[in-house]
Amino acid sequence: MKLDASLIRNCPDHGAHLGQVCPRCNIPQTIVTPVANARATFHQLKIVITGQIMGGKNNIIITRTGHRFPKPSWAKWRDDAVRQVKQCIPSGFTPFNTPVNVRLDYIAGDKRRRDMPAIVDAIFHVLEKAGVVTDDWHLWVTESSSGFNKQYPGAVITFL
C-alpha cells in the first residue's frame, strides 16, 4: 500500500524527513488516520462561484447597541453564493474537518481595488455555510491568482 504523504505527521520542530525518526530530536513520524479520507475521495474538488465577489468586511452594519448584521445586499449575495456552492458539491460528500489547502482563482468584474483578505474571508464563510468545511479555520490558501473579466467575474476554489 502506497502511503499518502498528507497522512504523515512530521516532526513539528524540524519538518519532513526521509527516515522514520527525526535525526535531531528522535521523534518518530506517526500516521494520521482520518475518520473519512475526504482528500483522497474528493481530490481536486473545484467549486465555482459566478458573479462579483463581495467582501464582507465593509458590508456589516453595527447598531448603536453593538448588534452586528450584514447589509441586505451582501446577505443576498451570500445566499446566492451558498446556493451555487451547494450545486458544485458531489453527492456523498463529507465536509472537510481537517486542515486542507486550497487554490483561489479570483476574477474581478471591474478594475476597482479590492481587499484580498475581505474577499478570502467572504468566500471561506460561504464555503462553511454551504457545508464544504465544518469550520473555515480548516482552509488555507496556498496558491492564488487574480484577474479581470467584465463578462465573467467570480472565483474558482480548488481543493488540493
Give the distance from CA 106 to its chain's centroid: 13
41-89 per-position pLDDT tens digit? 455 789 999 999 998 778 888 899 999 888 899 999 999 999 999 998 8
pTM over 0.85: no
What stretches of the chain show up as alpha helix (H) in DSSP? 38-41, 72-88, 116-129
SS3 27: coil
Predicted local confidence at residue 45, as pLDDT: 87
- CATH superfamily to which 38-159 belongs: Holliday junction resolvase RusA (3.30.1330.70)
The C-alpha atoms of residue 89 and residue 50 are separated, in whole angstroms, by 15
Q: Where are the domains of the chain?
A: 1-33, 38-159
Give me the residue label for grid cell 494520521.
Answer: 32
